[in-house]
Amino acid sequence: MPNLAVNLSNFRLFRNSMTVGIITPVYAAKKSYLRYLEDAIESVPNQGADIIHIVVDDGSPTDVASWFHQTISDPRIRYLRRERAPSDIRTASNARNLGLQALLDPIYGAVSPQESAEIKYVAFLDADDRLTPMSIDLRVSAFTPQTAFVYGMFIYVNSITGSQDIRGRAFRNEPATGLNPDPPLLWTAMFRRDFLVSLRESRNRLYGHDLFDPSMTVGEDIDVMLSAFELLEEKPDITSTFIRFPVYSHRKIRESTTNLVSRRKDRTDYARFCEKHDLVNDDKLSFLDRLSDFFRAIRLGAIRG
């Protein structure tokens, strides 16, 4: 079914009794990076919905555990550490998958079975970003019984240049042109639990991994969102909802993975993305080549094969 675009004037906010699970992966190469993580965490609790926020430390060389337990006292915010294997590439996928397993399966002891059963929605927050005020409540309020996930606009903050603007629009997948210029971004999406379970099962069946592809450094979030829309095509009784309001604040910083990824790895990830989603791949191009700014607009120029 097509997306339903929702304007704020069309619905009212309410304090929701259902729990929202939030997952934040963090890899702190230096202690100074923790200032971003603290800022991200502080953007979550002062919102109406009940939350459980899992912070997954992806084997950081910095002692994130000590910092967390000295700094964070809110019992709704939980810490997990994932030990990185020598073969691991630099990606947030493994940490996000671990957070999902902790919230929904549940394992690792961070969330009790009773708490897990109460989680009805799941959202993602990167360690150097922030949720906007009312972000959680706005998205929860936009759900109907037919809504699989809700996504919205976001504030793009370039911490390098000091500029910022509001971006994002409803997604369209047009066969004549491939992906539209403004794809839905994972950061702005909130998923209904049962749909997310189906999406995990689908990606495991098709690609042999959990929700996020651990082989991808760039574009792993876009990969998930496109799969979500592809799954919607198989389920005509459900839809997605777009909110014409910023629900997320994304910061571009020098330490981001996108700024550090090699051109060769970028092209490898782009090729895998095209293969997964039946898109034509020009091997001379890549995610970064096709984006004037990675976080502005996907201009893949690809069409479905």
Residue 38 vs residue 276, higher pLDDT: 38
Query: CA 102 → CA 56, 76, 226, distances in Å?
Result: 10, 14, 24
Strand ranges (E), the chain = 4-6, 19-26, 50-57, 77-81, 119-124, 130-131, 147-158, 164-167, 173-174, 178-179, 190-192, 239-252
Residue 93 pLDDT > 70, yes or no? yes
* The pLDDT of residue 276: 83
H-helix or E-strand spanning residue 1? none
pLDDT at 302 over 50: no
Across the range 93-104, mean pLDDT stands at 96
Q: What is the pLDDT of residues 114-162, one digit of tens each?
A: 999 999 999 999 999 999 999 999 999 999 999 999 999 999 898 878 8
**188 pLDDT band (50/70/90 cuts)?**
very high
What pLDDT, on a 0 to 100 scale, did the predictor assign at position 61? 92
pLDDT at 184: 65
Asked whether residue 181 carries a pLDDT value surpassing 60, the answer given is no
pLDDT at 47: 76
Per-residue pLDDT at 274:
75
Fold for the domain defined by 4-276: Spore Coat Polysaccharide Biosynthesis Protein SpsA; Chain A (3.90.550)
| pLDDT (tens digit per residue) in 208-262 | 999 999 998 878 888 898 899 889 989 989 999 999 999 999 988 765 555 555 6
Per residue in 3-52, pLDDT (tens digit) is 555 555 444 444 445 799 999 999 988 899 999 999 999 999 877 779 99
For the chain, give the longest Cα–Cα distance: 54
Q: 105: helix, coil or strand?
A: coil
Q: Is residue 182 classed as helix, strand or coil in its secondary structure? A: coil
Q: Answer for the pair 98, 108: CB distance below 8 angstroms, yes or no.
A: yes
Q: What is the pTM of this model?
A: 0.84
Q: What is the pLDDT of residue 266?
A: 66
**183 pLDDT band (50/70/90 cuts)?**
low
Terminal CA-CA length for the chain: 22
Q: What is the pLDDT, as a whole number, of residue 98? A: 96
Mean pLDDT rounded to a whole number for the chain: 81
User: How much is the pLDDT for 175?
Assistant: 40
Residue 52's pLDDT is 96
> In this model, does residue 84 exceed pLDDT 90?
no
